[in-house]
C-alpha cells in the first residue's frame, strides 16, 4: 500500500501507546522517477537519504526511559521512501516499549525500517552530548546567495532556467545556496533547505542556477524527489561529467531529512548539523 491519499500525513492520527511497526507507510520512488525520465533500475545516480531523529526515547529492561539521537541511512536505490509522519508515529510507538539493550533497539529499528523501505536501512544512536561536542558546520562552497538577482514569483523550477558555458575549459566547482524552499505535496507546508552542488564540467551560469533553485518555492514534492529533480535537470542541461547534489532540510516533527545524490565517487556527507537544524 503506497497510495499517498492513504498515508497518515495531513490527517489526525492517534499517537500509538504501544510498539506499532505497522504504522510505517511506504511510498514508491518509481512514479516520481518516471516523471523525470528515469526508468526503474536505471538511475543515473546513487546515494542516500540521511534521516536524523532528535526525539528518540525508549525504556530499558527496568522501565527507565532512555534517550538518544538516531541517524538512519536509507539507500537511494531502495524501492520505497517511508512517509515522514508514519516514521514519526512509529518512533513514538517505542516510547513505552522495553528493550534489553540499545543493541536490541537498533536491531528492531533496522529490521522494521528495512522491511518497509525494501532495502537495508542502517541505524546509529548517538548520545546528545556527543552531538553537542561535534558542533555545527555550514555547507562549504561558493555562495550563490550573494548574487543580486531579480526573481519572478510565478517562476517554476523549469530546466530552461539553467545554462552552462560550453565554449570554455571545464571547471571543478562547489556551489551552495540556503534559499531552497519546497512544499509538502500533501499538507502544502513549506520545507526549508540548504543545497550543495559539486560538479566538474562546463561552468554553470550562477544566476540561472539560483533562479532555478529559488523557483522551487511553490513546488510541491518530497525532499528526496526535489533533490533528484535538481540532479536530473542539471545533468541534462549543463552536462557535467561529474555531479553531486546534497540538501540539508530543516527539522520538522523532530526529524530532518538530508538527501544526497551523485554519479561519481564524491566525498560522503559527514552529517554535521548546520545552524538552521
User: Is residue 143 exposed (0-12), middle (13-18) or buried (19+ Cβ within 10 Å)?
Assistant: middle
Q: Alpha-carbon distance 225 to 89, whole Å?
A: 22
Q: Which residue of the set 112, 130, 160, 191 is catalytic?
A: 191
For 104-122, the three-class secondary structure string (H helix, E strand, C coil) is: HHHHHHHHHHHHHHCCCCE
Q: Report the DSSP beta bridge partners of residue 58.
A: 66
- C-alpha cell read off for 174: 562547489
| 191 classed as catalytic | yes
Q: Alpha-carbon distance 117 to 75, whole Å?
A: 9
Helices (H), ranges, the chain: 30-35, 84-93, 102-117, 128-134, 206-214, 223-238
Going by the DSSP 8-state scheme, the letter that residue 1 receives in this structure is -
Question: ∠ CA(119), CA(257), CA(171), 5° rounding?
Answer: 95
Q: Report the DSSP beta bridge partners of residue 63.
A: none
Q: Which residue of the set 112, 184, 226, 263 is catalytic?
A: 184
| 226 classed as catalytic | no
Radius of gyration of the chain measured on its C-alpha atoms:
19
Between the CA of residue 260 and those of 51, 98, 132, 244, what are the distances in Å?
11, 34, 24, 7
* Cα 223 versus chain centre, distance: 5
Q: Alpha-carbon distance 123 to 73, whole Å?
A: 7
Give the residue numbers marked as catalytic: 184, 191
Amino acid at each position: 500500500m503506497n497510495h499517498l491519499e492513504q498515508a497518515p500525513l495531513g490527517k489526525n492520527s492517534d499517537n500509538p501507546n504501544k510498539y506499532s511497526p505497522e504504522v510505517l507507510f511506504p511510498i514508491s520512488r518509481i512514479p516520481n522517477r518516471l516523471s523525470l525520465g528515469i526508468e526503474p533500475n536505471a538511475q543515473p545516480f546513487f546515494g542516500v537519504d540521511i534521516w536524523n531523529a532528535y526525539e528518540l526515547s525508549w525504556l530499558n529492561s527496568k522501565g527507565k526511559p532512555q534517550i538518544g539521537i538516531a541517524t538512519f541511512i536509507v539507500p537511494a536505490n531502495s524501492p520505497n521512501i517511508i512517509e515522514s509522519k508514519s516514521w514519526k508515529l512509529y518512533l513514538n510507538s517505542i516510547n513505552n516499549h522495553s528493550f534489553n539493550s540499545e543493541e536490541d533497539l537498533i536491531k528492531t529499528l533496522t529490521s522494521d525500517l528495512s522491511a518497509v523501505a525494501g532495502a537495508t536501512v542502517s541505524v546509529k544512536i548517538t548520545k546528545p552530548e556527543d552531538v553537542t561536542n561535534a558542533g555545527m558546520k555550514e555547507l562549504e562552497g561558493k555562495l550563490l546567495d550573494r548574487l543580486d538577482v531579480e526573481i519572478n514569483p510565478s517562476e517554476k523550477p523549469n530546466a530552461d532556467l539553467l545554462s552552462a558555458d560550453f565554449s570554455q575549459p571545464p571547471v571543478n566547482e562547489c556551489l551552495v545556496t540556503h534559499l531552497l524552499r519546497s512544499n509538502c505535496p500533501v499538507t502544502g507546508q513549506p520545507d526549508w533547505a540548504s543545497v550543495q552542488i559539486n560538479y566538474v564540467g562546463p561552468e554553470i551560469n550562477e544566476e540561472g542556477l539560483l533562479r532555478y533553485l529559488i523557483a522551487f518555492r511553490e513546488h510541491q514534492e518530497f525532499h528526496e524527489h526535489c533533490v533528484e529533480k535538481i540532479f536530473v535537470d542539471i545533468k541534462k542541461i549543463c552536462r557535467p561529467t561529474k555531479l553531486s547534489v546534497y540538501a540539508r532540510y530543516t527539522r520538522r516533527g523532530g526529524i530532518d531529512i538530508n538527501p544526497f545524490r551523485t554519479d561519481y565517487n564524491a566525498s560522503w556527507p559527514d552529517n554535521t548539523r548546520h545552524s538552521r537544524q
